[in-house]
Chains A and B, each alone.
Chain A
């Protein structure tokens, strides 16, 4: 009941007339907290003979900001036109303020222009009351917005995509390592070069090539084993080199003079069989394997006390002076 009485009082404060055109401005509350919304209503009544120009409201009414505004409602009853507009306004400063009079311009039937005003409405904007008896509290932390199903799907897609690309790169590198020029390269066994060479020499011996008349093949295989051993042991491209070139390359490595000459003798001697139709005697053939084995044994990496083999790049075959 009290609220109704209060509302009527407010209505009266905003009522204004200009002859036969009346402008009424009302608010739902004249005392609000800072930032709270105030419902501000304008009611313009005029006879149909009068043409009213309702003002276009932009973003504020005086010092009050317009939060939202409804469309203009028009009603006609007994030759009188009623224009109504509801506006939500707000203010972010504390204190006592007036909502300025609402101005409506109109043209009479005789063509003369005039204006009608509502009365200004006083409004109290209250600040936030601070309870000084309480201790000062920290600013509230940011709230975490829970992830939506759509976001989860996007992130999952990215993770799966990256994993796919990673696997693709890994597969490509692996494939490149395994193939060169389209040919699959056998992965080198993880056994020391000298062990491999000795195994291959034993295998060659068991083939009994020279005994079956395949002397050239026997010498070719023997020298190939030794050359491949040099490739793995010293990192020189011995298979693509001539005997002279291999010997020149081996000069840079420290090895016993006799070993060096033994290598030269084996390779040059084999060249004679391979390229000059040399027919070695049985003893010479037997000597080839022995000679190759001795070369491998004399040039293999030094074994440390722990029994671990030294890396071939850091270790010289023997601590013996350089051959002349």
Chain B
């Protein structure tokens, strides 16, 4: 093996050791939901935010809270409601009568992990405030700009049911989430474990096993993971198939896709693939990594047409068809 790759591989294997520790610690509390936990780690390592979709009671809050506890990071949960204001999120200036000056009161966004619960329940101005912070990783209150702490991971949740009185996220804002993860119900065996754990009232104590510094170091190492041109082209083939399905020998999808994935999808897929390779403790990316993250990266970035809706074809069906058609290098 080439010396560089060997070094990278060894380095990644050494530095990704905490992944197993972290997973073990999270699994003390979270029963099942392996996919969600894995995606949380991808978001954390690839510095991307995650949009979680699932019915209530699937341990979304618990998962991110546990992750925060296991990393020794600050965690805030913000329940998005129709009367929430941007200042409730980012903070505001408060007049101090004693000093006769305005003081900055930082909002809950100044944390490492934010759970934006039911993000679609708040109006557009609050959503924009959050999404802007996510993108810029800084917040301006009054005349002062504050950098947000790193790592900064936003986990927004959406409820697929009860759409009444909600403010659906515009496509441009949804695109800012690196991954959209759909959470499904646990299996029977997993739910048995959940039931026993909760009925007995014995909750395992989660201890910090990783520091935020280690996470930031891992992020830097992750950048060194080797991605061959063949893999890069494979990612491009997948993304371009969403834009020009006919060129990808998928003419049947042409009428079903309104708009394809953005270049942000290409970047996100490359970063998420590297993060997945890191989690798998590999110093190089293989097609398996791309395919593992492709669905979560793309499902919210493809707009379906009315014809697709009428035929009950979802963006997931389209992504799956593309993955089945695009040749693996």
Contact = CB atoms under 8 A, between A and B. Distances in A.
A299 interface: no
Q: Which residue of B1, B246, B250 has the most chain A CB atoms within 10 A of its CB atom?
A: B1
A243 B289 CA distance: 11
Given A277-B284, A279-B1, A239 B328 contact: yes
A245 B287 CA distance: 11
A242 B1 contact: no
Contacts of A182: 246
A220 interface: yes
A187 B326 CA distance: 21
Nearest to B250: A181
Interface string A181-197: 11100000000000000
Interface string A21-56: 000000000000000000000000000000000000
Contacts of A279: 1-2
Given A237-B324, A239-B327, A278 B5 contact: yes
Contact of B325 (A183, A240, A242): A240
A271 B228 CA distance: 11
A274 B226 CA distance: 12
B226 A276 contact: yes
Nearest to B287: A242
Question: Chain B, interface size: which category?
Answer: 20 to 34
Interface residues of A, number: 21
B228 A240 contact: no
A275 B328 contact: no
B227 to A, nearest CB: 8
Contacts of B324: 237, 240
Contacts of B283: 276
Contacts of A277: 1-2, 4-5, 226, 228, 284
Given A240-B325, A240-B327, A242-B291, A275 B2 contact: no
A147 to B, nearest CB: 50
Given A181-B249, A183-B249, A242-B291, A275 B326 contact: no
18 contacts: A181-B249, A183-B249, A239-B327, A241-B328, A242-B291, A242-B328, A243-B286, A243-B287, A271-B286, A272-B1, A274-B329, A275-B226, A275-B230, A276-B1, A276-B284, A276-B286, A277-B284, A279-B1
Interface of B: 1-2, 4-5, 9, 226, 228, 230-231, 246, 249-251, 283-288, 291, 323-329
Given A239-B327, A275-B231, A275-B329, 7 more contacts: A242-B291, A274-B228, A275-B230, A276-B226, A276-B283, A276-B286, A277-B226
Interface of A: 180-183, 220, 237, 239-245, 271-272, 274-279
